[in-house]
Chains A and B, each alone.
Chain A
């Protein structure tokens, strides 16, 4: 079952490729931010699965909330002439890196039986 998310990734890519939606230029930002939000949610989800604190509803709502807020930021940023969506990009980027780091720690701890401090990078 673990391969299902990977399959989903490819299925989504295939869907996007087949639908070949031509998005208007001013919506590209939203899509890229949405992509980052999805990536963030994926790594967050993996981490919470490893931690055993996974809640599907939390993840889904978090995903959509993050996406909406990021989209809102992008919109506001466009309106006032500041690239505010970069804040969302930055936040997602930082979270993705920290999540990956924790996932790595978890995996290493699992396979090498290393005692792990929770807040250690």
Chain B
């Protein structure tokens, strides 16, 4: 294992600095999105985030519990139709529908999970494929008032418009042309934040560990007291509940739901996102949702500049390119995007856990010697990467505005390295002042810090410029 850029003890001051930097970056990313993207792109972002929640639901069952269940499009559909009907027919507010949707999803999960989870592997896959396949036809049933509630083949629109109340007008983007979609973006972001927190807590404690134990070795789990059918069904029902919540968010975002939206094709999209993001990782679900929507979008547009059009306006090579990307991922990053990100992270930082005594389980100092110049060099490369990516993003926007979304998205991911460079370089200079580094690192570290600061300033100026242009 190569030595990473920095080694910190868990919860030390240094580690906290890195954690805050991460949170700051995430906050910046979330704030910039409604500012930088065009209104129709914010809509795409919303769709991606909604898919992320559904992928998280699939991940709970497939990734964390090892049960091959493929029918979550149906749970999304249930959530979406319950929401549409309650909001349109009963005049409820969206937030009032949330508990209803969660409970309905949970009950559906128990009803389907109890019999379905008695079988495993391909058999479970088959049962849940049937679930996904049959759902779009169920909403058309003209008995029991079902079609009246769901709108049948015509779908169901929600006439109530979701706009920001006065006291939330300060949020970035929620006024003006992009108002509606940017406000819905913020609602979705908050809901995802809460969902992620609850799911993470669940997975990282006793019931979640039981779920993972079943995935890794059922016999072992049973011997240690895990009640297999109860834990599996509970986890499946929680997953169905979250899938239904994704359906609610779908309805909230689009204001229209139809049976054709929740076919097996959607279920396949969820599985693709799951695999590309990272099976069995929480972050992978979110990344997977973003990937499915944005890369699909990119592949549709990629052949248009070549003058190749199809009747529906998509590039004719879209499906082929998307398929190629899937194949490349299967070969080169079988663990998904998250596994790639973790490889990069392992090169940047290692966090040494603490023993109950509060001491790091390995001595921190032993990682230190011999790395001085390497670290400063790496910091400088990182600081250059930021502005370069920014410039590419800027250029790309002016060349072809159609792919702005993809590139704007990409460069904001990479610009992270500018603040990181500042952090690393500052640390190195501090170590130098304490006599722990040779003089040779002073020059590169200073340069790295300067470039990093420039990159960071660039982002701020850029955002400000967009803000002024747009409002």
Check if A and B associate. no
